[in-house]
């Protein structure tokens, strides 16, 4: 459990200081880190139910996190049909060095 908390604290320091992220994206990242299920992933339906924001608004924040490299989107297939998308926060140790730098104006 200690390692999980250390990872969450490190993630918080990195994404929270990223001046390129919107506050909405930072909130979604916080949700992904603090309320994720065992195994480290959150299903799209669970994420959408967690807020009164609409699907487009929430997904724009998720896509922002994906573009910056904080989150991965995974979606499997079964019998030729797509399964529900899940979102996985990346291992903070694999982020590029520039993600650790505090952004100007923070």
At 64, which helix (H) or strand (E)? helix 55-68
Q: What is the pLDDT of residues 11-24, one digit of tens each?
A: 667 778 888 999 99
Both tokens of 41, joined, read 């992933």
Number of domains in the chain: 1
Predicted TM-score (pTM) of this structure: 0.73
Q: What is the pLDDT of residues 37-86, one digit of tens each?
A: 555 688 899 999 999 999 999 999 999 999 998 899 998 889 999 999 88
Q: Is residue 9 part of a domain?
A: yes
Per-residue CA distances from 16 to 4, 22, 30, 82, 89 (Å): 18, 10, 9, 33, 14
Its domain, for residue 23, covers: 2-91
Q: Is residue 31 part of a domain?
A: yes
Report d(CA 34, CA 56) in Å as an integer: 22
């Amino acid at each position: 459990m200690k390692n999980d908390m250390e990872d969450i604290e490190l993630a918080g320091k990195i994404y929270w200081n990223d001046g390129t992220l919107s506050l909405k994206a930072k909130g979604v990242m916080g949700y992904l880190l603090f309320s994720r299920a065992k195994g480290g992933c959150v299903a799209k339906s669970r994420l959408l139910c967690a807020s009164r924001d609409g699907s487009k608004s929430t997904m724009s924040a998720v896509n922002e996190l994906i573009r910056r490299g904080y989150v991965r989107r995974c979606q499997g297939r079964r019998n030729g049909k797509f399964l529900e998308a899940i979102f996985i926060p990346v291992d903070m140790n694999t982020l590029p060095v520039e993600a650790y730098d505090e952004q100007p104006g923070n």
